[in-house]
Structure 1
Amino acid sequence: MTDILLIAGMWLDGAAWDAVVPELAALGHRPVPLTLPGQGDGAATATLDDQVAAIVAAVDASPERPLVVGHSAACTLAWLAADARPDGVARVALIGGFPNGDGKAYFDYFEPVDGAVRFPGWEPFEGPDSADLDASARARIEAAALPVPAGVTGGIVRLTDERRFDVPVTLVCPEFSPADARGWIEAGDVPELARAKHVDYVDIDSGHWPMYSKPAELARVLAAL
């Protein structure tokens, strides 16, 4: 039984994995969906460092080295966990995203309003990102979406331990293909993964939120790692 730490991307908490958790458990693993500081707990002043500390605490609490899964923007959080605990993380799985480099802001695509970044609606995600989500799934995601404190989105990524490049990485490719991802890395668009020593690619036929649209398939992909 392997611990699989699950970190959802922007606006989502641990409940985003509700359909994935029983599938992973049935496959013999212990899924641990994480709800981080600032995700609906009233901690409007939560920072990126607070979220990283919560993930590192979950890594430390695992009886064996866990698989750390980051989705979308939280791919950076998973990579920060590998940086903080390069000997404590068995593998990092990145779903639909890539880790930011040292000195970059965590998520600066939308401006905060009143100290938080709120879900902007579906218009920015039209096309391959959301093509496999019906109206019901979109409504569920939007209803679950939580404002993310500006102290998280504007936090600066700090990477300090080059042993992170020894941690195996699997890129789970939903709305883009493994060939796309390889091309971006080889072109220098993802410097962190260009330096990673062990990068694998797995395709999954879904949009950007496979935990909602393909939970059983996503669970099989993660369990196989």
Structure 2
Amino acid sequence: MDVLLIAGLWLDGSAWAGVASTLRSRGHRPVPLTLPGQGDGSSSATLDDQLAAVLTAVDEASDKAMVVGHSAACTLAWLAADARPDKISKVVLVGGFPAADGKPYADFFELRGGVMPFPGWGPFEGPDSVDLDEEARRAFAAAAIPVPEGVATGIVRLTDERRFEVPVVVICPGFTPAQAKEWINAGDVPELAKVKNLDFVDIDSGHWPMHTKPAELARLLAELS
């Protein structure tokens, strides 16, 4: 099966190297995506540009693809399900939730010079980064790719109710399935509240399991495919 891998903010497709290697060994075809503006040297990319790249990968898949979104890119994965509900077998959300229609994509941190740089580790202290040692933190920060303003502030547009028929699995790093269900039941994640086939899987890691638990994350993805 084709498994499209979309990393979150400040990351390019290389973030999935360990996951992709294990998926290949299990007979899958991983497709780690490097999105416009996050690895190609451009700072003028927009959310629409990134979605177009994801949809191209969906359309080029040999059969229905499983689309994996990490963190903020959970919204990109969900936008793909909205645009191609008949071409996606499952959406897997790793450590994040899709934004609702009309909301900004990821305007979480300060914009400087037309981009949103990595803000440092302060906002991620605690469960998110507990399994990253100092060397890993330095490497992450040094490699972090500033997110173009046109991506971070892009407005999410969802139009096709058939997206709720696409099965969704939430992989929970840094929080538990019980917490995720509580947030959804409280109305904090309105999109997932309407999904007809929604499951949850726990993983004992911080926010970036593709870095700290790549083999385990790949095993979970293989089992879900």
TM-score range, shorter chain: over 0.9
Q: Which deviations, in whole Å up to 9, do the C-alpha atoms of 1:112-146 show, x marking residues without a partner?
A: 10000000111110100000111222122112210
Matching residue of 1:173:
172
Aligned pairs (5 A) from 1:3-14:
3-14=2-13
Q: What's the secondary structure of 2:88's corresponding residue?
A: coil
Matching residue of 2:88:
89
Letter of the aligned partner of 2:52 in structure 1?
A
Structure 1: distance between partners of 2:209 and 2:182: 22
Number of residue pairs matched by the alignment: 224
Tell me whether 1:138 sits opposite 2:137 in the alignment: yes
Aligned pairs (5 A) from 1:87-166:
87-166=86-165
Structure 1: distance between partners of 2:198 and 2:213: 23
Letter of the aligned partner of 2:55 in structure 1?
V
Tell me whether 1:210 sits opposite 2:209 in the alignment: yes
Structure 1: distance between partners of 2:185 and 2:28: 33
> Unpaired segments of 5 or more residues in structure 2?
none
Matching residue of 2:223:
224
Letter of the aligned partner of 1:177 in structure 2?
T
Structure 2: distance between partners of 1:146 and 1:181: 28
Letter of the aligned partner of 1:214 in structure 2?
K
**Post-superposition offset of 1:13:** 0.5
**Post-superposition offset of 1:111:** 2.3
Q: What's the secondary structure of 1:31's corresponding residue?
A: strand
**Post-superposition offset of 1:91:** 0.2
Tell me whether 1:69 sits opposite 2:68 in the alignment: yes
Structure 1: distance between partners of 2:190 and 2:161: 13
Letter of the aligned partner of 2:100 in structure 1?
G
Runs of at least 4 residues of structure 1 off by over 2 A? none
Q: What's the secondary structure of 2:44's corresponding residue?
A: coil
Letter of the aligned partner of 1:43 in structure 2?
S
State TM-score, norm by structure 2. 0.98
Structure 2: distance between partners of 1:95 and 1:44: 25
Letter of the aligned partner of 2:102 in structure 1?
G
Question: CA RMSD, aligned part only?
Answer: 0.7
> Unpaired segments of 5 or more residues in structure 1?
none
Q: What's the secondary structure of 1:189's corresponding residue?
A: coil
